[in-house]
Amino acid sequence: MAEQKQRISGDKLRAFIAGAFEAVAVPREDARAIAHLMAQADINGSEGHGVFRLPQYIRRIKGGAVNVRPSIRVEREMAGMALVHGDNGMGHLVMKFAAEKAIEKAKTAGVAWVGARWSNHAGPASLYATMPLAHDMIGLYMAVGSANHLPPWGGLDMLLSTNPIAVAVPAGDEPAIVLDMATTVAAYGKVKTKAQRGEMMPEGWMMDRQGQPLIDPKRASEGFLLPIGGYKGYGLAMIIGLLAGNLNGAAMGKDVVDFNNDDTTETNTGHAIIAISIEAFQDLKAFKQGMDTLIRDIRNSRRLPGVDRIRLPGEGTHTARADREKNGIPMPEALLAALDQLAAELKIGKLAR
Amino acid sequence: MAEQKQRISGDKLRAFIAGAFEAVAVPREDARAIAHLMAQADINGSEGHGVFRLPQYIRRIKGGAVNVRPSIRVEREMAGMALVHGDNGMGHLVMKFAAEKAIEKAKTAGVAWVGARWSNHAGPASLYATMPLAHDMIGLYMAVGSANHLPPWGGLDMLLSTNPIAVAVPAGDEPAIVLDMATTVAAYGKVKTKAQRGEMMPEGWMMDRQGQPLIDPKRASEGFLLPIGGYKGYGLAMIIGLLAGNLNGAAMGKDVVDFNNDDTTETNTGHAIIAISIEAFQDLKAFKQGMDTLIRDIRNSRRLPGVDRIRLPGEGTHTARADREKNGIPMPEALLAALDQLAAELKIGKLAR
């Protein structure tokens, strides 16, 4: 039962987002950079992290939780690393700065790891992991999520976020491999979608406070998301949090602020981006040929009964991007209504249809 | 139903292992280095990757599959990376060399990523991820597994291994956090153990070629291990393979040799080790205090009904090590018998009880 959705072009979406940020005193250049990245999230099919987040971002700027004129800067630096201070700016600006720094450093160091602190929610992980691709580099991104939804394995207290990791690896003629995953079986957004549709969740997404399967998404607040592989996903969420949070002096554990329910508090969000120059390790052409061969071996391998196609990580994103760059981004009515309301509040023009 | 097991001291185990390698022409210093790491695997509770593997390693050396006098060397190097050529030496020697190189480089670069190729099976991932700890560094290790057990998601052809990742993060008064995980729900060794005990496996460990749950471990050859989080674990196994394999020009996909069933072919095993200097990012004391606080927050958090204790990644290893360093390593009769047989074949003294 596919909902009929209006299609909005990337240009119109970018213009609207940039206008909204300018209306709350974000400098024009920064507003445009954020708009570009947020619209790219929608174009890539990461709808839960694109313009859907705009009302929340604006609310937090108005509440004083985010600095609209940050001095984003390198605090510490060695040949293979840097630590970026985000000065509580929008996460998109901080991570764009950090990713560019990592790419620049990897050109001379081969590999560079750039951490960031005093940042904010930056949208989907794959936005930053894919930035090194244009430089024939592998990108690896990790972040501390902006709300704790995950207890330690066996526990009741939500001390961990669904800390995401994304890795992008270039190929030759084939599209790049892009993995972008949270460390829980389902993302919280998927639970919300099930609730909106009045559907039950499969067992394994959530459990309740007695450790029993929770399948009614309307009861989501009575339970927890489950980590992938049980204690393994718990360990992975913790490790990503240590690398993106603790290492950078950013918030982790009980210090994480739930940015969904708070418009005034700085989050000190931590991220890490690693850029890896392929040519530092081997011949670029040989690498790309090897990637193409591997991708084709996997795609053309034998399938389980009922499986129509073997997918590669990132394939859904490539398909969404090709469609949306040509035909525009499908936007649900409820989202368009929320953006119209935001436009009225900010006294800016509505998103052009 | 705990089996009665003899306890063997670390010293006796190391002496026996070193003697076995010397008997097949491995130079004394190298034999001792391998023996130290293999015994450490047993002491740490990674029994599936310790002396249990000795007969197989010796068989492969005798078969000409492994070079006993390798010239392990740096092939390529930049400030933040190196590529190590293992010259088909024992994986333990290659990865010890690579980890030491990563630590040395991280002292000046802050972070260093060292890849290795033309290596071999190196034992448990945590052996190498923990090496940077003594230098107040974080260690991160990845490898291409030495046999393919995992098809792509939805597929039938085992094109991927259960590629492991290990990460070790130092704390202050608390023991280090050490995550060491394969990207499948269960390791193949666990399936073998269930078969030996005549027990069924839980649903979710394996599936058969029709995509149905496979719970009888005696039918393991008719099915596949399942990745953690379904397609997420498949993606993670692939990415680890790309970073530890393809990037280094090591074997991946259909080029991976099953070293359990082959005593003559070079494997060109790939690994990666990353060393991260904590002091490059922040004050070491503050970091360690933060780690202790986080660990205690998690350990002391509220528990699900029936859960006796919240565990931290690596806790099982710390407990095993404390016990085994004092009381020796518990060894099953079947393993002792296999080692006695190996001793007879090599004309060396039996493992001293």
How confident is the model over B129-148, as pLDDT tens digits?
999 999 999 999 999 999 99
Per-residue pLDDT at B319: 95
Q: Across the interface, which of A179, A209, A231 has its CB nearest the CB of B236?
A: A179
The reply to whether A62 and A164 lie within a common domain is yes
Whether B310 and A243 lie within 8 Å, measured CB to CB = no
Q: Is residue A272 part of a domain?
A: yes
Whether B305 and A112 lie within 8 Å, measured CB to CB = no
pLDDT in tens, A181-218: 999 998 887 888 888 888 999 998 999 999 899 999 99
Q: What is the mean pLDDT of chain B?
A: 95
Per-residue pLDDT at A120: 98
The reply to whether A209 and A339 lie within a common domain is no
The alpha carbon of residue A338 is apart from the nearest alpha carbon of chain B, in Å, by: 32
Q: Across the interface, which of B81, B152, B310 has its CB nearest the CB of A298?
A: B152
Per-residue pLDDT at B1: 42
The reply to whether B212 and B232 lie within a common domain is no
Per-residue pLDDT at B113: 98
Per-residue pLDDT at A300: 97
Per-residue pLDDT at B193: 81
Whether A303 and B155 lie within 8 Å, measured CB to CB = yes
pLDDT at B2 over 60: no
Q: Across the interface, which of A232, A246, A293 has its CB nearest the CB of B290?
A: A246
Identify the residue with better confidence: A353 or A252.
Answer: A252
Per-residue pLDDT at A353: 85
In single-letter form, the type of residue at position A66 comes to V
Q: Which residue of B has its CA nearest to A295?
A: B253
Per-residue pLDDT at A306: 94
The reply to whether B56 and B198 lie within a common domain is no
Per-residue pLDDT at A3: 57
The reply to whether A129 and A94 lie within a common domain is yes
Per-residue pLDDT at A196: 81
The reply to whether B189 and B257 lie within a common domain is no
Q: Is residue A342 part of a domain?
A: yes
Of A326-330, B139-143, B155-159, B257-261, which gets the smallest average pLDDT? B257-261
Per-residue pLDDT at B188: 80
Q: Which residue of A has its CA nearest to B253?
A: A294
The alpha carbon of residue A313 is apart from the nearest alpha carbon of chain B, in Å, by: 6
pLDDT at A1 over 50: no
Per-residue pLDDT at A270: 98
pLDDT at B174 over 50: yes
Number of structural domains chain A divides into: 2
Q: What is the CATH number of the domain that holds B219?
A: 3.30.60.50
Mean pLDDT across the stretch B315-327? 95
Tell me what percent of the residues of chain B surpass a pLDDT of 70: 99
The alpha carbon of residue A181 is apart from the nearest alpha carbon of chain B, in Å, by: 7
The alpha carbon of residue B287 is apart from the nearest alpha carbon of chain A, in Å, by: 7
Q: Is residue A102 part of a domain?
A: yes
| A137 pLDDT tier (thresholds 50, 70, 90) | very high
The reply to whether B19 and B65 lie within a common domain is yes
Per-residue pLDDT at B47: 85
Tell me what percent of the residues of chain A surpass a pLDDT of 70: 99
The reply to whether B22 and B151 lie within a common domain is yes
The reply to whether A52 and A191 lie within a common domain is no
Identify the residue with better confidence: B309 or B186.
Answer: B309
Q: Is residue B295 part of a domain?
A: no
Whether B155 and A302 lie within 8 Å, measured CB to CB = yes
The reply to whether A61 and A207 lie within a common domain is no
Neighbours of A63 (CB within 10 A): 12
Q: Is residue A317 part of a domain?
A: no
Domain range holding B219?
185-226
pLDDT at B4 over 90: no
Stretch (H or E) spanning B242: helix B231-244
The reply to whether A202 and A237 lie within a common domain is no
Per-residue pLDDT at A100: 98
pLDDT at A80 over 50: yes
| A2 pLDDT tier (thresholds 50, 70, 90) | low
Token readout for A208 is 């309740």
| B192 pLDDT tier (thresholds 50, 70, 90) | confident
Test the A interface: residue of B232, B274, B300 with most A CBs within 10 Å: B232
pLDDT in tens, B230-275: 999 999 999 999 999 999 999 999 999 999 889 999 999 999 999 9
Burial A183-221 (b: 16+ CB within 10 A, else e): bbbbbbebbeebeeeeeebeeebbbbeebeebbebeebe
Q: Across the interface, which of B152, B235, B298 has its CB nearest the CB of A301?
A: B152
Q: What is the CATH number of the domain that holds A169?
A: 3.30.1370.60
pLDDT at A15 over 50: yes
Whether A305 and B243 lie within 8 Å, measured CB to CB = no
Pairing of strands B165-169, B177-181: antiparallel
- In A70-154 the beta strands, taken as DSSP E runs, fall at 73-78, 81-85, 111-119, 137-143, 148-150
Per-residue pLDDT at B3: 57
The alpha carbon of residue A220 is apart from the nearest alpha carbon of chain B, in Å, by: 17
Q: Across the interface, which of B78, B81, B242 has its CB nearest the CB of A177?
A: B242
What values do phi and psi take at A245, rounded to 5?
-105, -80
Residues facing A137 on adjacent strands: A277
Test the B interface: residue of A74, A77, A78 with most B CBs within 10 Å: A78
Q: Residue A153: its chain B contacts at CB < 8 A?
A: 310-311
Q: What is the mean pLDDT of chain A?
A: 95
Q: Across the interface, which of A76, A154, A282 has its CB nearest the CB of B307?
A: A154
Q: Is residue A251 part of a domain?
A: yes
The reply to whether A126 and A247 lie within a common domain is yes
Nearest one of A235, A256, A233, A234 to A245, comparing CA atoms: A256
Whether A239 and B210 lie within 8 Å, measured CB to CB = no
Q: Residue B211: its chain A contacts at CB < 8 A?
A: 304-307
Per-residue pLDDT at A191: 87
Mean pLDDT across the stretch A277-292? 98
Mean pLDDT across the stretch A39-60? 94
Q: Is residue B304 part of a domain?
A: no
Q: Which residue of A has its CA nearest to B290?
A: A246
Q: Is residue B290 part of a domain?
A: no
CB A126 within 8 A of CB A180: yes
